[in-house]
């Protein structure tokens, strides 16, 4: 997916998402050292951690998303260090005490080779014993193959925008494709539609545990919420905390 064309809608959709902020903020405070954020997007988590005094570097492949992040930084009087790059191939001179990948950032890795390449590259950027912490959605979706409006309506100078979506799941490939239709109605009644396609690769718990071990990490601690509760049938999120394993 080309997030350059999607950045404005993404920023509207998730600007007020707060479920993970305290968790990652408290984690960065405990670690105390430099933090690397994978998939920093429009700077929602990056700016929050920077406001709390974290020394944070963001990694984001989309120039459009970085533009929105820097606009956010300007509004909030912050200076954000965000590097444009791919998690599989980026190379930075700095090493980090903590790497985070919030809000399903690793769901843009579609094959085992891509997943291992990314995890190994992250490991190479961690200090000895450095931590990797990330969250992934539990693969539980709404009505599939059905047009849905889930309450996402935004108002701006251009008019009212309603976001509709259709999701299709491929259980063999462990992927879900979400088609977004953003319908903007101007004051005069003219309707403009924009269309975006988001493809995500979802994971199972034990698959992630094996991936981490193969990529050189310790056996992770797994939770079913940002408050630390157990992963169970009612969980909406899987939270993994692990460390770089030293041979």
pLDDT tens digit string along 177-198? 999 999 999 999 999 999 999 9
- Quote the CA–CA distance of 214 and 225 in Å, as a whole number: 25
Terminal Cα distance for the chain, rounded: 37
Q: Do 18 and 109 share a structural domain?
A: yes
* Structural domain includes residue 17: yes
* Structural domain includes residue 143: no
Which pLDDT belongs to residue 236?
A: 96
- Quote the CA–CA distance of 99 and 56 in Å, as a whole number: 10
Which pLDDT belongs to residue 1?
A: 65
How many angstroms separate the Cα of 102 from the Cα of each of 163, 189, 239, 244?
23, 39, 9, 18
Q: Which domain holds residue 127?
A: 7-138+204-243
Q: Do 133 and 51 share a structural domain?
A: yes
Q: Do 191 and 111 share a structural domain?
A: no
* Structural domain includes residue 102: yes
Q: Do 182 and 161 share a structural domain?
A: yes
Handedness of CA 13, 18, 19, 22 (dihedral sign): positive
* Structural domain includes residue 66: yes
CATH number (domain holding residue 89): 3.40.50.150
Q: Do 133 and 36 share a structural domain?
A: yes
10-residue mean pLDDT profile of the chain (247 residues): values are 84 91 98 97 98 98 97 96 98 98 98 98 98 97 95 90 97 96 94 95 98 98 97 97 94
* Structural domain includes residue 233: yes
CATH number (domain holding residue 161): 2.20.25
Burial state string for 90-115 with b = 16 or more CB within 10 A and e = fewer than 16: beeeeebbbbbbbbbbbbbbeeeebb
Q: Do 111 and 188 share a structural domain?
A: no
Helices (H) and strands (E) counted in the chain, each on its own, are 6, 11
Residues 91-130 have pLDDT tens digits of 999 999 999 999 999 999 999 999 999 999 999 999 999 9
How many angstroms separate the Cα of 205 from the Cα of each of 11, 94, 122, 211?
29, 30, 20, 10
């Amino acid at each position: 997916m080309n997030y350059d064309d999607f950045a404005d809608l993404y920023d509207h959709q998730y600007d007020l998402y707060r479920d993970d902020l305290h968790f990652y903020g408290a984690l960065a405070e405990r670690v105390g050292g430099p933090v690397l954020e994978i998939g920093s997007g429009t700077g929602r988590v990056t700016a929050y951690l920077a406001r709390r005094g974290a020394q944070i570097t963001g990694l984001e492949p989309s120039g459009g998303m970085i533009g929105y992040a820097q606009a956010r930084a300007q509004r909030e009087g912050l200076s954000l260090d965000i590097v444009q790059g791919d998690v599989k191939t980026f190379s930075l001179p700095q090493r980090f005490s903590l790497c985070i990948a919030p809000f399903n950032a690793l769901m843009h890795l579609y094959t085992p080779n891509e997943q291992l390449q990314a995890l190994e590259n992250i490991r190479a950027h961690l200090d000895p014993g450095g931590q990797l912490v990330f969250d992934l959605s539990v693969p539980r979706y709404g009505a599939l193959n059905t047009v849905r409006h889930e309450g996402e309506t935004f108002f701006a100078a251009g008019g009212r925008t309603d976001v509709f979506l259709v999701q299709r799941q491929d259980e063999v490939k462990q992927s879900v494709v979400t088609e977004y239709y953003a319908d903007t109605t101007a004051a005069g009644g003219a309707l403009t539609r924009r269309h975006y396609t988001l493809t995500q690769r979802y994971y199972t718990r034990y698959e992630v545990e094996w991936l981490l071990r193969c990529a050189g990490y310790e056996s992770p601690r797994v939770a079913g919420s940002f408050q630390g509760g157990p992963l169970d049938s009612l969980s909406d999120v899987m939270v993994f905390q692990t460390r770089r394993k030293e041979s």
